[in-house]
Structure 1
Amino acid sequence: MTTARLFAATLGLALHLGAHAADFTVSSTDIAPGQTLAPAQVFQGFGCTGGNLAPQLSWHGAPAGTKSYAVTLYDPDAPTGSGWWHWSVFNLPAGTTSLPGGATAGTLPAGAIQGRNDFGDSAYGGACPPPGDKAHRYQITVWALGVDKLPLDQQASGAMLGYMLNANALGKAQLTGLYGR
């Protein structure tokens, strides 16, 4: 195959996957895109006083071949040099299309696992940027995966999970909320 044909085939595949990725969306009754998070999604501790409740999420339009999902909540603006992982849930069965507000280990679908957040817990940890910082972006990403299960447990770090997600992603949908104090 010539370089030009290889490039054309690769571009065609990328455009095909991109078209399907555009169909994959996530929404929330608790978070409006680009808007300030409600007190319910703010951390309780570290000087923050919130409800520390995971937001309700719904998604649809996942790529064909999706075998499981993962959800991550990440703050790329945290002053750490590596961002801040607030929440991760993985090994959600392929039939899952939503999570209720306030989801916990006891209310997640069977087999789903919450990874370790940067607060040190395997649970949701809400927004809590330093006082006086500009509003931080809280990126909720639903990952459509081509594997049934990731070989990780509840002690998985955000970095390890991120590696596994990027290695197995068929597509992803993202919603970003803001919060500052």
Structure 2
Amino acid sequence: MRMNTKVVRLDLGYYSELQPGFSQQRHYIAPYPQEEASHFVRRLLAYLIMYEQQPQLSKTATPGKEPDVFVQDTDAHFRLWGSVDVLSDKKLRRACHLADEVWFFISELDQPKLQHLPYQMNAHCYHFDEQQLLQLQQMLKPHMRLSVWRDTDTLTIADGEHWLEFLLQLAALH
């Protein structure tokens, strides 16, 4: 299913146990042209996981050439490169060269695809239950109101009707 909106207005209430404090902000997030909802929901989830680091979402769909979500320093160096797709060996090496860390945000169904990739010291992976990703996809709307709670190993997302808890385990790529 393709995203049927050009911009998602996200009213976000965010609380973190890691950096105590509550923030409430409005964000405008643009799906890629012709982006599938399943892809967009992984980009949104990556954004929420990285939220305290003030991530940015890529404006163009160029897997491996640009990250889907990223954190840059003041010199435009990638501190963190986030990808919601499994990259080829060549693109992974490029990402690892350009960034201090590379994080994958993928479905558990894509986990076996990582086995063929060579070990990279600065590459890690979050993988998520496919059913939970589908439930988060059902929460997508042109105007979303989300409450997010971040603990050390969980991310809880609620929209007033649904409530999801994602286990967060950042694992090294083997």
- TM-score with structure 1 setting the length: 0.26
Which structure is richer in relative contact order (CA contacts within 8 A, separation 6 or more)? 1
Q: Which has the larger radius of gyration?
A: 1
Q: Which has the higher helix share?
A: 2
TM-score, normalised by the number of residues in structure 2: 0.26
As a proportion of its length, which structure holds more strand? 2
